[in-house]
């Protein structure tokens, strides 16, 4: 199991590395991914939703569909988000709106996303949603601000 996760992380890092500075990521919702996971398998996307449960020690959290689910729903559909074991990460808060950039991975236990970047700042999210996609900024690789905007007032990092 650990070897499988390491292989997935390595594959994601290789596929993210050579991208041009102007790479665009399509914004999708949880229900879109769960309805047709094969369409997104292996692709890097920007997932929009609401943070469900979070487990800092496991470096995972869930993202619920922002249109059809609430953070406290008992039958909410979700995509599990996993962070690579590198760098510092700030876990988003339950109920917080988010956009997560990462690669979709289909496993026996369901569909998950290997995250490289997390946006929780309301202004950033609104701008990304208005454009329908996100363009990687020149000079920044996905993950350069991994979770840093989860606490906008804490710029000490």
Mean pLDDT of 10-23: 47
Per-residue confidence (pLDDT) for residue 80, from 0 to 100:
93
Q: Residue 9: pLDDT above 60?
A: no
Residue 19 burial (C-beta neighbours within 10 Å; 0-12, 13-18, 19+): middle
pLDDT in tens, 112-147: 999 988 999 999 999 989 888 777 554 444 444 444
pTM of the entire predicted model = 0.69
Per-residue confidence (pLDDT) for residue 59, from 0 to 100:
87
Which residues, 6+ apart, have CB-to-CB distance to 151 below 8 Å? 90
Which residues, 6+ apart, have CB-to-CB distance to 95 below 8 Å? 50, 51, 71
98 compared with 141, residue with greater pLDDT: 98
Q: What's the rounded Cα separation, in Å, for the pair 49 and 28?
A: 9
Per-residue confidence (pLDDT) for residue 86, from 0 to 100:
67
Which residues, 6+ apart, have CB-to-CB distance to 37 below 8 Å? 104, 106, 111
Q: Are 134 and 27 in contact (CB under 8 A)?
A: yes
Compute the mean pLDDT over every residue in the chain, rounded to the nearest whole number: 75
CATH superfamily of 2-150: Nucleic acid-binding proteins (2.40.50.140)
Q: Residue 108: pLDDT above 50?
A: yes
Mean pLDDT of 28-41: 91
154 compared with 75, residue with greater pLDDT: 75
Per-residue confidence (pLDDT) for residue 113, from 0 to 100:
93
Percent of the chain with pLDDT over 70: 63
70 compared with 87, residue with greater pLDDT: 87
Q: Which of 103, 107, 148 lies closest to 124, judged by CA?
A: 148
């Amino acid at each position: 199991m650990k070897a499988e996760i390491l292989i997935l992380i390595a594959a994601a890092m290789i596929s993210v590395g050579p991208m041009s500075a102007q790479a665009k990521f399509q914004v999708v919702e949880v229900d879109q991914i769960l309805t047709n996971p094969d369409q997104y398998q292996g692709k890097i996307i920007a997932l929009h939703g609401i943070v469900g449960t979070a487990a800092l020690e496991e470096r995972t959290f869930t993202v619920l569909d922002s249109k059809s689910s609430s953070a406290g729903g008992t039958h909410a559909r979700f995509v599990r988000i996993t962070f690579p074991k590198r760098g510092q990460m700030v876990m988003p808060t339950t109920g917080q709106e988010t956009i997560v950039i990462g690669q979709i991975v289909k496993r026996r236990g369901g569909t998950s996303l290997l995250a490289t970047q997390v946006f929780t700042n309301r202004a950033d999210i609104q701008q990304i949603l208005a454009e329908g996609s996100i363009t990687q900024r020149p000079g920044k690789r996905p993950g350069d601000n991994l979770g840093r905007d989860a606490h906008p007032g804490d710029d000490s990092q």
